[in-house]
Chain A
Amino acid sequence: MTTLFSVSISRRFWRVWQRNFTVYQKIWKISFIPPLFEPLFYLLAFGLGLGTLVGKISYHGTQVSYLAFIAPALIAVNIMNNSFFENTYASFVRMYHQKTFDAMLATPLSIDEIITGEIIWGATKSLIGTVIMLAVISLFGLIRYPSGLLIIPLAFLGGIAFGSLGMYFTGITPTIDMFNLPIFLFVTPMFLFSGTFFPIDNLPAWAQVVAQFLPLTHLVNLVRAFGFGTVDARLLWSAAYLFIFSIVFFPLALLKMRKRLIK
């Protein structure tokens, strides 16, 4: 069944990335706006509004302001959303409605290259969004440098992890409306319970264990540590988790998309 394309990821996946970048260049002015303003809205609402009620939060033994606590989490959520939504809704539209992948499959591109290019593109969008958000949040003095610079390559790794997960769902989702399901079951709970808006320690013990299995928990851990400049060995586990998560879901995404596209 898959023997026809069993090899084959060459540097040509770059052509698929380029196609998406060409489209992005046409609409970059609009694409720039959400990562520019979204953190401002959140910082205003949660940091200033809710923050005055919450006061200080204890993080690894030090007291930090609520604004400082959630700022790195906003970046992490943005990394997740950018790649996950790119490789679900946007990739699905290209695959199913626009027949873009069908057209590519009549050229010397393999399915694996198309999907790889799409996932790398999703990660690129995470990276672009992160750079913009980082600049905005840094203006508030909420990011420490130079460790804060590590958030940029981290955004790419996080993008690969969540993009691969998104592409896996694209491979198995019958219609575009059905993406509501993985969003309701995975993305929304992660958004709320991954140490984003309150420390995981506040959860009941069983929920703390569950949270350790959510990739966003580890991404939040890493972004927060890099942003605060509190890098230590415990982060290796979080980095390893994201890495393993990518290594598992990337080939799974390829497999499901091959199954879906090869007729």
Chain B
Amino acid sequence: MQYIIEAENLTKKFNGFTAVDRIRFHVNAGECFGILGPNGAGKTTTVRMVYGFSPKTAGTLNVFGLDIEKDWRRVKSRIGVCQQENSLDPDLSVEQNLLVFARYFDIPASRAREKAQQLLTFISLDNRRSAKVSELSGGMMRRMILARSLINDPELLILDEPTTGLDPQARHQLWQRLEELKAGGLTILLTTHYMDEASRLCDRLVIMDHGKILVEGKPADLIREHVGHNVIEVDDPAENLREFVKSQSLEFEDLGHRLIIYSQGKDDLFHEIGNRFCTGGCILRMATLEDVFLKLTGRELKE
């Protein structure tokens, strides 16, 4: 089967700085594919190349089996893009934002009105159609950007950090809409640095750092492979516990006042550590994608 996106040795350099470094990935039809990474990892640069905003420096990049460089207009007419920054048109009303955007795709006016109505209902903004964009809340604006990106019935939806800066209610609202779209068979490419978002939405994902892809896989598989099922966290660990984990050659991270031990399938480890070394502040929890992320990309500040 043909891939929706296929990147080989995709590279982007800005004045000698390599933002994306020979990455390779593909996206299947109907799946939600995530690109995770800390700030500056090259996520946005990657998706910008995919939707034809930034020209690549090297490598090959096909979308719908078409070369984005040659067939950019055909590709762009079949994708929807939610950019990271709010690019809604403040000179236009909510409904006009959709209608004017539809014109950029050469969608006939009557069809555009129909579609706009349908989308405003979908994002629960049909009662705000004549509102100014500046009157909308952050969550409403994000939903509007989503609606706008769907105006051309795209076959591929690209979301660049869609929920950054939103409150929990607004994030869940948006996730629900995205899940509905996914259930409808839409292919989604998503960048995020929220692990809960990625776990919830992505069928497959890559974790990037410094322009390179570190790992690729299904969220659950990545957790099992790199961290195991459970994680033990110990506050103010005793010195003999440190010696114990070293002697058992367990994988762990020492943050000074806290020790994080990856159980790696050893289910009775917590009882052993709990009985022998813990006086309190010792917890066992499910491993999450965040553990994988921090393990692979490090805990130091990125900026």
Contact = CB atoms under 8 A, between A and B. Distances in A.
A209 interface: no
Given A12-B106, A102-B85, A262 B100 contact: no
A103 B92 contact: no
A23 B152 CA distance: 22
B81 interface: yes
Contacts of B148: 103
A103 B89 contact: yes
Given A3-B69, A102-B85, 17 more contacts: A3-B55, A4-B52, A12-B106, A19-B100, A22-B96, A23-B91, A99-B83, A102-B83, A102-B87, A103-B83, A103-B88, A106-B149, A107-B77, A107-B105, A108-B76, A108-B106, A263-B14
B48 interface: yes
Interface range on chain B: under 10, 10 to 19, 20 to 34, or 35 or more?
20 to 34
Interface residues of A, number: 27
Contact of B104 (A23, A98, A107): A107
Interface in A70-108: 98-100, 102-108
A18 interface: yes
B62 to A, nearest CB: 15
Contacts of A109: 104
B72 interface: yes
A107 B101 contact: yes
B54 interface: yes
A98 B90 contact: yes
Contacts of B91: 23, 26, 98
Residue picked from A8, A103, A263, most chain B C-beta under 10 Å: A103
A259 interface: no
Interface in B102-159: 103-106, 148-149, 152
A117 to B, nearest CB: 10
A3 B83 CA distance: 23
Interface in A132-184: none
A8 B74 CA distance: 13
B83 A262 contact: no
B89 A262 contact: no
A161 to B, nearest CB: 26
Contacts of A103: 83, 87-89, 101, 148
A263 B103 contact: no
A15 interface: yes
Closest 4 CB pairs of A and B: A103-B87, A99-B87, A106-B81, A107-B104
A1 interface: yes
25 contacts: A4-B55, A4-B72, A5-B72, A15-B104, A15-B106, A18-B103, A19-B89, A19-B103, A22-B92, A98-B87, A98-B91, A99-B87, A102-B85, A103-B89, A103-B101, A105-B52, A105-B53, A106-B76, A106-B79, A107-B101, A107-B105, A108-B77, A108-B105, A108-B106, A110-B73
